[in-house]
Structure 1
């Protein structure tokens, strides 16, 4: 185990009690070699606990493990580890914490809803989920209407059909956030308190203020894809945070695509002007990248560089009206986007296809027609059964 990824993979197997005897011995050896303190259970204690625990689904255990791993990474700076030594001690501490949490959960009626662990949103569900500022969850049905309340019971928004509209008449004096999560196969519209209209694509999460506060920037946080029609307000810049990228505007129309499988976050400007800059920096109009209408800016997630080029903007915004576009995209990424768009499962057994790149554009087509195109043009054989597609 020479890399952190190998350590993490082996620890995950260990927590799930899936290690071979040889792998278990390897974990024990590393633990004894890098033991931190007596605050964490011994490996023998962990093994005994694992042996007593009921069987847990690998997916649930994996989700819990990754949540704790993420939480631990966010607080890394508080962990005192001597330089030039293995990071394994940090991961073994995480593993021990995971096992203790799992054990407590099962021994007390499987109550694993600890405040430090937020359940992952199942994007393959059929529900649009709204998480309120107090942590409560509200389900949104497109064939229904519902009011959104703040923590004091005041109405701050109204949903009707596939649109949720926030009011600007609440008495909030500090920023509080709602988060909306759009599952695979669906789209949704959101009107913010400043009348900015946001079109949300499938598999997207947007965190936004219930009300924008005077004197502060209008900032939202995006994972996925959205088209923003930003209300003009020169005194309050509108900022979209997409992980390590900030997009800053005053009032304009633009599209941001920030899906995890993509190597770059793309910003396509339809109208107005936007600035692109690293989220850990302050905006500087003289130094940062400024997009002009008809241009796409691509923020490389690996090296934080930004490239711009002229594009046909309709291609990148066609999803709002049901369109689907792939530009020089690997087939494995196309599969991910098809799964998200149509809420299907695609199994690709033709490994040679995975890294081949394709260009294709569709209007509002069914998944059957999209797959038929790939078969007719590129000779890709497949079968469809229920919501599962098998590529041979």
Structure 2
């Protein structure tokens, strides 16, 4: 495969429909520049990454194939297709060239994005949103109860207040995913079909199978912060994908923090054992970082290095009960976390503060008390009006 680890990782995320729009553009730009040169991955290499990509029915495959042909004609670089196009329709999920394979990944993601989510989720809204397997969305109200159904109308989960519990009765042939999105100012609890319990912090998105499949790993995808109490199952490792990092466990309690503004992805282990490794690699207990209870593992997003150190785990899990902790954190990032926690808008006109680092811990405090602390201890002057904070 390509010797460049960055494009490897991007390509993997691309074919698995995990790229951001910026990353998609980067992959396409790389393709346009290199096309089918020797350093491009082979079809077999890329095909191995497609196992987790959602399957397409014949009608969708044909539609995407036609989109690929149309786009090819519009590009300056023309992609020549073999005469027997029907073979590509028949085997579109295992495309016979990297060109078509990338086209499928791009247009399938584009197609799903257009049909499933017309607008980017607004984390400053007041609604917890559940996105179902067919692209429909369901609003979760903590004041009410509701049922979650699959495409056939079968009940797969029950929600009551701030908790959603999935059933473990069905035996599906393929993985079907739901995605839950927690807005700023709220938290939520989720019990997966295997009994794993997840606490979701504000501003968090979790994609997970409605039902796990026997013989396959139990994998979920996290953007944000969550505390996992994983149900023990030695035959089916539980894997949390946090962008470029995988966290692998069999049964344990741990916290994962993976917000966009953070320079590192943190994993704090409370009980059991977890392995940390890059998402484009296979797990290897002899080579990968293995955390022990009471330790924090930090994955540096810039250089892909993992470091560990002993910590007081309560500090990092206190958010579950309303706590708030900053450790050697820039004020710019603190502002982002305060906005997420309290669903407020903070305008900082004191530019000198932005890159200064602070340490602070709070129990369940109001935003007024938190800002008052910064004013008293660090001399940060501010005003609060209509859910907006102005730092002078």
TM-score by length of 2: 0.74
Q: Is 1:180 aligned to 2:180, yes or no?
A: yes
Once the two structures are TM-superposed, the CA of residue 73 in structure 1 deviates from its matched residue by 3.7
Structure 1 match to 2:219: 219
Report the CA distance between 1:170 and its aligned residue.
1.8
Q: How many angstroms apart in 2 are the aligned matches of 1:285 and 1:67?
A: 30
Q: Which residue of 1 aligns with 2:198?
A: 198
Number of aligned pairs? 301
State the Cα distance separating 1:72 from its structure 2 match. 3.6
Q: Secondary structure at the match of 1:198?
A: strand
Q: Classify the secondary structure of the residue corresponding to 1:283.
A: coil
CA offset at residue 115 of structure 1? 3.5
Give the superposition deviation at 1:68: 5.5
Distance in 2, matches of 1:219 and 1:68, equals: 23
Q: Conserved in 2, the CA contact under 8 Å of 1:330 and 1:355?
A: yes
Shift of 1:77: 5.5
Counterparts of 2:114 and 2:314, CA distance in 1:
45
Deviation at 1:141, TM superposition (A): 0.3
SS of corresponding position for 1:270: strand
Trace 1:276-295 onto structure 2 (pairs within 5 A).
Answer: 276-295=276-295
1:42-98 deviation line (CA, Å, top 9, x unaligned): xxxxxxxxxxxxxxxxxxxxxxxx976554445456535579xxxxxxxxx9xx99x
**Deviation readout 1:296-320 (Å, 9 max, x if unpaired):** 0000000110000000000000000
Distance in 2 (alpha carbons) for counterparts of 1:171 and 1:337 = 40
Q: Deviations over 1:248-300 (max 9, x none)?
A: 00000000000011110000000000000000000000000000000000000
Corresponding position of 1:324: 324
Contact 1:223 1:259 in 2 (8 A): yes
**Cα RMSD between the aligned structures?**
2.1
- 2:116, 2:312 → 1: CA distance? 45
SS across alignment from 1:181? strand
Q: Distance in 1 between matches of 2:153 and 2:137?
A: 15
In structure 2, what is the Cα distance between the partners aligned to 1:275 and 1:115?
36
Match of 1:79 among 26, 32, 39: 32
| Structure 1 residues 246-285: aligned runs within 5 Å | 246-285=246-285
Residue segments in structure 1 that go unaligned for 5+ positions in a row = 1-65, 84-92, 98-112
Counterpart position of 2:136: 136
In structure 1, what is the Cα distance between the partners aligned to 2:328 and 2:114? 43
Whichever of the two has the greater Rg, that structure is: 1
State the 4+ residue runs in structure 1 displaced beyond 2 angstroms: 66-83, 113-118
The answer (yes or no) to whether the contact 2:130–2:139 under 8 Å persists in 1 is yes
Please give the per-residue CA displacement for 1:107-161, whole angstroms capped at 9, x wherever unaligned. xxxxxx8449742100000000000011110000000100000011100000000
Residues in 2 aligned to 1:201 and 1:147: alpha-carbon distance in whole angstroms:
22
Q: Deviations over 1:173-212 (max 9, x none)?
A: 1101000000000000000000000000000000000000
- What is the SS of the residue equivalent to 1:126? coil
- Which residue of structure 2 lines up, in the alignment, with residue 344 of structure 1? 344
With normalisation by structure 1, the TM-score equals 0.74
Query: Distance in 2 between the 1:247 and 1:185 partners?
Result: 27
Match of 1:361 in 2: 361
Q: What residue is the counterpart of 1:28 in the other structure?
A: none
Query: Partner of 1:79: helix, strand, or coil?
Result: helix
